[in-house]
C-alpha cells in the first residue's frame, strides 16, 4: 500500500507540475497578446479583433487548471487560525466536514457544467470561431482535477495518520 501511494504521489506531483507549466505558458501568452493589442490599437491604430477573446479563453483555462494545482498543494486561501486553538479530534472532524462540502460542491459543479456543455456546443465565439463548449469544458476539467487532488490528499493524509498511529 505504501509503495502504491508513493508511486501515486509521484505521478500526481508530475501531473500537477505539468498543469502548472501549462498555466505559466497561458500566462505568458495572455501578457504577450495583451501587449500586442495595446500596440496595435494605440500605435498602429488597427486593433486586433481576436486578442481579447483569446486572452479571456486562456484566462478561463488558466484559472481552473491553476485552481486544481492549488488544491493539490492544499494552498487555497482559508481562515484556519481557529484550527490552531481546537483539540485535535475536533480539528480532524471540521477538516473532514470542510473537505466533504468542497467535494460535494465540485461534484455538483461538474454535473451541472456537463449539462451546459451539451447546449454550448452549438454556438461559437465571435472572433475566434471556437465552439463555446471548449470554453466551458475548462470548468469540468478543472473541477475534476480538483476532485482528484482532494481525493489523493485525503488518501495521503489517511496513510500518514495510520503510520503515526501504528
Q: What is the pLDDT of residues 68-77, one digit of tens each?
A: 999 999 988 7
pTM of this prediction?
0.89
The string of pLDDT tens digits covering residues 15-25 is 999 999 999 99
**How many domains, in total, are found in the chain?**
1
Could you list the residue range(s) of the whole structural domain that residue 147 is in? 2-165
The string of pLDDT tens digits covering residues 38-92 is 999 999 999 999 999 999 999 999 999 999 999 999 988 777 777 788 898 898 8
> Which residue's C-alpha cell is 490528499?
153
Burial call 88-117: b when 16+ CB within 10 Å, e when fewer: eeeeeeeeeeeeeeeeeebeebbeebeeeb
Amino acid at each position: 500500500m505504501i509503495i502504491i501511494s508513493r508511486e501515486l504521489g509521484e505521478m500526481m506531483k508530475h501531473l500537477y507540475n505539468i498543469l502548472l507549466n501549462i498555466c505559466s505558458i497561458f500566462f505568458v501568452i495572455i501578457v504577450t497578446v495583451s501587449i500586442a493589442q495595446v500596440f496595435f490599437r494605440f500605435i498602429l491604430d488597427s486593433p486586433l479583433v481576436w486578442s481579447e477573446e483569446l486572452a479571456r479563453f486562456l484566462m478561463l483555462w488558466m484559472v481552473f487548471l491553476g485552481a486544481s494545482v492549488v488544491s493539490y498543494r492544499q494552498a487555497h486561501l482559508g481562515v484556519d487560525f481557529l484550527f490552531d486553538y481546537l483539540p485535535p479530534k475536533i480539528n480532524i472532524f471540521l477538516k473532514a466536514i470542510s473537505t466533504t462540502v468542497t467535494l460535494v460542491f465540485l461534484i455538483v459543479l461538474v454535473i451541472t457544467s456537463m449539462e451546459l456543455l451539451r447546449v454550448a456546443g452549438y454556438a461559437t465565439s465571435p472572433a475566434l470561431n471556437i465552439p463555446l463548449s471548449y470554453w466551458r469544458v475548462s470548468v469540468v476539467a478543472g473541477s475534476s482535477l480538483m476532485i482528484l487532488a482532494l481525493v489523493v490528499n485525503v488518501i495521503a493524509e489517511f496513510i500518514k495518520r495510520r503510520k503515526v498511529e501504528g
